[in-house]
Amino acid sequence: MRATTFGELKRSGAQASPGVKDEMRRNLLRKLAAKERLFPGILGYDDSVLPQVVNAVLSRHNMILLGLRGQAKSRLIRSLTTLLDEAIPYVAGSEIHDDPFRPLSRYSMNLLAERGDDTPIAWLTPDERYVEKLATPDVTIADIIGDVDPIRAARAGQDLGNELTMHYGLLPRAHRAIFALNELPDLAGRIQVGLFNILQEGDVQIKGYPVRLPIDVALVFTANPEDYTARGKIITPLKDRIGSEIRTHYPATVEQGVAITQQEAWTGRGGEIRVPRYLREAIEGIAFAARRDKRIDKRSGVSQRLPISALENALSNAERRSLIAHETPIVPRISDVYAALPALTGKFELEYEGEMVGGENVARDLIRAAVAETFGVYLGAADLKSVIAYFEGGGMLKLDEDASGAELLKQLGRVTGLLGHVGALAVAASDPAPLQAAAAEFILEGLYAQKKIGRSDDRGFVAVERPVETDMDLERLERLRRMKKQVN
């Protein structure tokens, strides 16, 4: 049972709490010795970012995470609370959660002097010891550090210089806690200067009071690497005072990306849902293709939220179709990914060339590129000549996106040899029709993405249109050959 008064706390053998950085270090060492998993829910950083975070904590450093949007910076910072004690005592009523053995605020000092061992004690959980603020240009020193509170002074009948009239900012209120400041470069320069003391000397001074408060806090910042430069909006002396600078990154492999998306995407809709592995990889490949595409701004990045939103939206389209067709299981198809364009176009910033063709066209190109890569992985060595020959012989196939799996499978069965290749996508002939139909449709989309068959809005999948050489084309080609011969 936890103590409720200072006297009970002392009789329990409790002592002054160590600094929050020492506490995090101690608990991290214990977890490392016990080989416990650190920072649960953070994927893809085991060999890169997390070792650097561990070193920063062991070094008792304030740190900054540099990375583009959607790289789990906020989640990683919030997971630092797993390194805090289960609960710590503080003077009940204290705005800055004073340690009863080492009070800082005038309120706690007066209360302890007045009531001694009867001073009431409350307890802080790890989640309550995390304070987060998004830096914006309108943030003031009063918001972060504090200010004189004339209303409080008037109500209490106190002089403005009395410590009891202090208004504590977010930083003092994070005493004995983790204070996270997101997008640090967006903080006005004069406010950045206000952080110098807490980073170097470990104290703050609230304007108008001749008192320096030795705040016990672990500071963690985030920033975009483009802004965090000498040419950007960061003050160099502030950079110098931050102990560790850690670079985050997007998933290094499609497999890592699939694992993250599978963890984060909302796919528990009720009923039987089957999301094929090849489709997960194709959706993940969209983000990888976007990060390479020259039409997309690299400085803003392509968030991991893109494949997460795309998968959720594609699954919703499949869910709608399944409900209408009264068919189970729910299986998303590649056509459902095209239906998820609204989940893609808002996830990237376009360069001039991209603006010229439009976001939807860029997104369609990204889907095709991702399908082509995934198709190459699963069916790169497959002999699909009979399928291609079907279309080159005049065959056409226009698929109904809202057709049930059984209906679609009948249509796809007309293509010579097509259904014989679904096994390469881990689909068997005994599997439900929606799974077989999704796999067969993906094969056709892969052939189209690799330009081995064509597709039109009116006719659906068709043969690739070959350019027809006219007499004028042949004459121009011959003229170019003669010119090249004269030059040589």
| pTM score, whole prediction | 0.86
Residue 168's nearest CA partner among 222, 206, 212 is 206
Considering the domain architecture, whether residues 191 and 327 belong to the same structural domain is answered as no
Claim to verify: residue 213 and residue 357 sit in the same structural domain: no
Residues 222 and 300 in one domain: no
Is the domain of 82 the same as that of 224? yes
Same domain as 284, residue 194: no
Among 200, 218, 247, give the residue marking a domain's end: 247
229, 247, 265 - which closes a domain: 247
> What is residue 168's predicted lDDT score, i.e. its pLDDT?
85
Q: Is-contact 20 217, C-beta < 8 A? A: yes
The CATH number of whichever domain residue 113 belongs to comes to 3.40.50.300
pLDDT score, position 100? 96
For each successive 10 residues of the chain (488 residues), what is the average pLDDT? 93 92 97 95 95 98 95 95 96 95 92 96 96 91 78 58 72 95 90 89 77 91 82 82 96 96 92 95 98 93 95 96 94 96 94 94 97 96 95 93 94 95 95 97 97 89 70 62 65
Q: Are residues 180 and 208 in the same domain?
A: yes
Q: Which H or E run includes 181? A: strand 177-182
Distance CA 163, CA 110 (A): 11
pLDDT at 466: 62
Residue 256's alpha-carbon distances to 36, 185, 187, 260, in angstroms, are 21, 30, 33, 6
What's the pLDDT at 102?
94
Are 292 and 223 within one domain?
Answer: no
pLDDT digits (tens, 9 = 90+) for 396-427: 999 998 999 999 999 999 999 999 999 999 99
Number of structural domains (the chain) is: 2
The rounded distance, in Å, linking the Cα atoms of 106 and 157 is 16
Residues 290 and 390 in one domain: yes
Q: Quick check: is 411 in a domain?
A: yes
Cβ contact 49:76 at 8 Å = yes
Q: What is the pLDDT of residue 388?
A: 96
**Which residue range is the domain that position 221 belongs to?**
6-247
In this structure, the answer to whether residues 230 and 278 fall within a common structural domain is: no
- Please indicate, yes or no, whether residues 241 and 280 belong to a single structural domain of this protein: no
pLDDT, residue 485, reads 66
Regarding whether 155 and 23 lie in a shared domain, the answer is: yes
Tell whether 342 and 313 lie within a shared domain.
Answer: yes
- Looking at residue 482, its amino acid is R
